[in-house]
Structure 1
Amino acid sequence: MIKKIIVLLITITALSATSLVWSQKTQTGANVSGDVKSDGKHIPYANILVKGTNRGISTDEKGHYMLADLPKGKHTLVAKFIGYKEQEKEIEALAGQSITVNFELERELMSLDEVVVTGTKTFQRKTQAPVIVNVLGKGTLEAVEANNIAEGLNFQPGLRVETDCQTCNYTQLRMNGLGGSYSQILMNSRPIFSPLIGLYGLEQIPANMVERIEVVRGGGSALYGSSAIGGTVNVITQIPQSNSYDMSYAYHSINGRANDHLLNGNISMVNKKRNMGAVLFVSHRNREQYDHEGLTLHPDGSTTKERDNFSELPKLKNNSFGANLFYEPTDNQKLELNFTSMYEYRYGGEMIDKLPHLAKQSEERIHHIMMGGLDYEIHFNSNLTSLNAYVAGQKTDRDHYTGLYPERDEFDTETEFDDALYEHLANPPYGKTDNTTMQGGVNMNHNLTDFFSG
């Protein structure tokens, strides 16, 4: 394994060095500069691409750009930015000459043609994807005040996040009516979610780390294996776009009897060349147990409102943090690294201040989850061919308890009850689960410009 990693690093270094040498040999002095505006205002961090090549750059924080040492000849420049219509302009690059090309972009009222990746495992426009891909963006998650992705997915058609246990409130994602085992959950297009995380992980991923969620429903998602018969949910984490930070605090009161506190923070950083950047996020949640008032039916047919001291909503404590980083050594290469750590404490059942096994009935879950991935991508052959190598994994440590305290009326004799009580107190049913998932691979894509001829 170590030898394979060393060979991969040597290959990446060699490709990087080759690209650097090639770029040094193509200095033409043909430069293009300008700005990108909309309604008279500059657009920072818009993308300027040379169509049909791997050359491109982003505008700076003031909306200006400069492309240096373009190959001599005619080119098409493309300006694009999320929420705006693309614009193309024809230019002719002459050796030793600099020209100015400015763009004026129009706003796009509806984002019907977003770039998605889930449908085919490659970047496609929504209108060109062979399957229907629904996108839940960061703005929508903020608008519905979703604390985690489980709350956000409830607003997607054909999806239902179902709570299947009143005590611990574990959830499963149903797609097209099928159970959770038929839904594949991806993190940055990698199937690193174990079945164990699938039950609890949707509530552990804070909404502030998500850029968008892509959803493919039905058999078209079977590209991702037998677990995706119902559909696929691909959680895309944030990529740094600008130097910014934000902090938010939310407070919820549950019928005035339980408090829910949520604290989120994000920091995004990019360098001036925009070939290196990082996003850091942190999230903390603390929710108290909640016992809802119910109706008790008496033998005479009358009812009274009372609480039974058993929780309808479990106690939750969540701490999550992580980072996404990228580095582009050359125009046609990119390295991405992402890491996430999640901790959750969950307790439901009889509301007592004792150890779980001393409650009449209770469930306790403690999760420590680490997830991460490393991607390397290179484009060559006039941007017609791309090679991607990746490794990803997750590790879950879970401590758990599920049990009932022995009751006298459940046993025929006093001796049986005493034996059961002694066994429960001496060896309470606590458990521990360790789960590790690793994945790696290499993808190569090539666009055929003249597949059919004649």
Structure 2
Amino acid sequence: MMKKLLFLLWLITGLTVCGQAQQQSGEIKGRVVTGAEPVAFATIGLVGTTQGANSDENGYFHLRNIMPGSYRLQISAVGYVKVLKSVTVGEQPVLLNINLTKSDQQLQEVVVTGNMKETYAKLSPIHVEVYTPKLFQKNPTPSIFEALQMVNGVQPQLNCNVCNTGDIHINGMEGPYTMVTLDGMPIVSSLASVYGLSGIPNSMIQRIEVVKGPASTLYGSEAVGGLVNIITKNPAEAPRLAVDVMATSHQEYNADVALKANLKKASTLVGVNTFWFDNRRDVNGDNFTDITLQKRLSLFNKWSLNRPENKVANLAARYLYEDRWGGEMQWSPDFRGGDSIYGESIYTSRLELIGAYQLPTAENITWQFSYNSHDQNSAYGKTMFQARQNIAFSQFLWNKQMARHDVLVGVPFRFTFYDDNTPGTQTRTGSNQAQRIYLPGIFVQDEIKSSDKFTSLFGLRYDYNFTHGGIFSPRVSFKLAPDQQNIFRLNIGNGYRVVNLFTEDHAALTGSREVVIADNLKPERSWNASLNYQKFIDQNNGYLGLDGSLFYTYFTNRIIGDFLTNPNQIIYQNLQGYAISRGLTLNLDWAFTFPLKINAGATFMEVYSVQDKETGQTEKIPQLHAPKTSGTYAVSYTFRKAGVSVDYTGRLYGPMFLPVLANDFRPDKSPWFSQDNLQVTKKLPHGLELYAGLKNLYNFLPRDPLMRPFDPFDKTIHLNNPNGYSFDTSYNYAPMQGRRGFIGLRWTVK
């Protein structure tokens, strides 16, 4: 299959070169200005071709050897609004004078996550970070879960070295504290974990919005540490066809296809994603697969109706099936659930439905709804875990502007059905009893624009949990913008979360540790404050954006798995004390008039809990898998005449505490390490892009990720084992996947 893909890419490239060799004769020349001033180093290109040029220091440009015909000329420069112009090339030169208008890049970004309604990012009192697929294409990945490693302060964390289950950490907070939504709807439930993020076709994604800090006032439980909102494309505006196929030297194959059709009264977008990895690898020789083997298929379809006055009417559905397993190299499905050959096998089936309908009334009222069904059949060694979760969500939003007030009122209702074969759904008599959780609520938000420089926001939410009673979640935000180049934001809010242990903590199911629930687990509660500062600097040679945030979160109750008190147990109980997450994040976005762009970020944080001991003293316990220092970076340079761009991306990890066993020979902290990637992309005619590169350039691999891999069922635990070690899969901090090459092809038809 790899040979066929390489032959196809070679054939496409060869045909392209032959086509370019034909005789060409036309030319376009002119000048790019803004008012009376020249615009130096602007990019001028013919859409759908590799032909282009740059304006010189006086704004002049010249394109030669163009075949006669009609074209669309695109003119762009850092800090200016892009211009598209139709031109017809003949035997005589085309003479143009292009006038560009300066733009505020941040002002052009539209966001919805911060306050549930569309606004410009720069105007929002809630700081929202926006990431487009262009960033993630600098390091292509087969899933959103892996792609998020490029976002500063957001850490995709693998929680098991055998089945590679993971979650998303924001500012050191574990995955259950991060809410992941699709078009604003709570689709990725706690049971879904990384599975809900797998198979969302990258070609369907318009942008990803990230809010750090509690968002419970608008989004309810789970949005304690932050929110990741995946915005899918509007079918009416999407390209007619988008294709992205990729293969790696480890024999991973990924295909992503999206097709759009415009009908008389509607537009539809169909997406298909498939991922295939069936190559057993054991680089470290522990007789366990380094990376889980996966077969995944995802189907996505979104409809958008054309309605009077552009009122919203969208409906989307997605189906995902995945078969993944990891374990001993000789494992096969015949050993599933047995105790002779160890394997962790997960069959996942998901169905998702999302919709929004704006009522045909004078008032701005929108009905939003979603439904997801997650069926999981898992075997962790001889431990079987079979679970089913259905979540139905409905919400009415009323938005009203009155003078300086922008009021938003929401009436949400969420129903969760959950059933599994663990003690989590058993009664005291031992019989099974599925959980049915009804969660009605109401929230009110008032955004007050006192002046062009000062905006305040006040919000309050009340949810009634039929098990835990009423829960209030207030929020207050202030934005001060003394001028166009400086913005200050202060946010203070409350977060809460209702814990469902077996759906959220993979460690409770895998390995050989006994699970001990020492308390009647109560909802987790926290208070958060963050101060954000943004600086925008227009430079003669480009544009510089700076972003910094101080954050502080105080938990009055938190459920933390205790791996250290007893090496053979995981103890869960209500926090007897308090927990804190605090730190600083810095981001830099630097674009030059010459074809260089730099994105860099760093996070410095401390996450820990303080437990009250029976002696009356307190004990400070650091958060596992939360490095005090981390950073992301992406450096891109384009050779415009050749149509070639080079991207160097990576993430730096500082030491993080790890779950060690008693007398563990392995260090309790990971080392400093980075995972770096290099990619070269060649633009071809007719919307084609060919890309290739290397991942994990320096071939970093963690050491000794598994304890006693030769005895995964602890059958010989009492033989030649003076330290009493037992099989354990939780000591992890990086994927067991070394350096690998990749090659791919993108094709976009607009």
TM-score using structure 1 length: 0.64
Stretches of structure 2 lacking an aligned partner (at least 5 in a row):
1-41, 48-70, 73-78, 84-98, 406-447, 451-750
Contact 1:131 1:220 in 2 (8 A): no
Residue of structure 1 in register with 2:247 after alignment: 251
Residue of structure 1 in register with 2:401 after alignment: 447
1: CA distance, partners of 2:102 / 2:321: 41
1:401 is the counterpart of 2:396:
no
Stretches of structure 1 lacking an aligned partner (at least 5 in a row):
1-37, 44-61, 64-82, 88-103, 295-306, 405-428
Query: Displacement of 1:223 after TM fit?
Result: 2.9
Same amino acid, percent of matched pairs: 24
Contact 1:332 1:379 in 2 (8 A): no
Structure-to-structure mapping, 1:23-422, within 5 angstroms: 85=81, 106=101, 108=103, 110-219=105-214, 222-240=217-235, 241-242=237-238, 244-254=240-250, 259-271=251-263, 276-294=266-284, 307-352=285-330, 353-355=332-334, 356-358=336-338, 360-378=341-359, 381=362, 385-404=363-382
Residue of structure 1 in register with 2:706 after alignment: none
Moved more, 166-175 or 233-242: 233-242
Residue aligned with 1:227, SS:
coil
CA change 1:220–1:442 in 2 (3 A) is closer
2: CA distance, partners of 1:244 / 1:112: 28
Query: Displacement of 1:366 after TM fit?
Result: 0.6
Contact 2:260 2:268 in 1 (8 A): yes
1: CA distance, partners of 2:198 / 2:258: 19
Residue aligned with 1:146, SS:
coil
Query: Displacement of 1:144 after TM fit?
Result: 1.9
Describe the superposition over 1:183-229 as per-residue Cα deviations: whole angstroms up to 9, x where unpaired: 11111101132201124322342322221110000135653224112
Contact 2:189 2:196 in 1 (8 A): no
Contact 2:210 2:226 in 1 (8 A): yes
CA change 1:220–1:184 in 2 (3 A) is closer
Q: Which amino acid aligns with 2:163?
A: C
Describe the superposition over 1:362-413 as per-residue Cα deviations: whole angstroms up to 9, x where unpaired: 11001110101221114765xxx41101221100111111125xxxxxxxxx
Contact 1:192 1:439 in 2 (8 A): no
Residue aligned with 1:195, SS:
coil
Q: Which amino acid aligns with 1:371?
A: E
- Candidates 388, 406, 414, aligned match of 1:434: 388
The alignment of Structure 1 onto Structure 2 pairs a total of residues equal to 319
Residue aligned with 2:381, SS:
strand
CA change 1:192–1:246 in 2 (3 A) is closer
Contact 1:289 1:313 in 2 (8 A): no
Contact 2:328 2:342 in 1 (8 A): yes
Residue aligned with 1:342, SS:
strand
Query: Displacement of 1:330 after TM fit?
Result: 1.0
CA change 1:372–1:107 in 2 (3 A) is farther
Relative contact order (C-alpha < 8 Å, sep 6+): which is higher?
2
Query: Displacement of 1:159 after TM fit?
Result: 0.6
**Larger helix proportion, structure 1 or 2?**
1
TM-score using structure 2 length: 0.40
**Larger strand proportion, structure 1 or 2?**
2
Contact 1:291 1:308 in 2 (8 A): no
Contact 1:221 1:232 in 2 (8 A): no
CA RMSD, Structure 1 to Structure 2 (Å): 3.1
CA change 1:390–1:223 in 2 (3 A) is closer
Q: Which amino acid aligns with 2:242?
A: D
Contact 2:107 2:123 in 1 (8 A): no
Contact 1:119 1:221 in 2 (8 A): no
Residue aligned with 1:154, SS:
helix
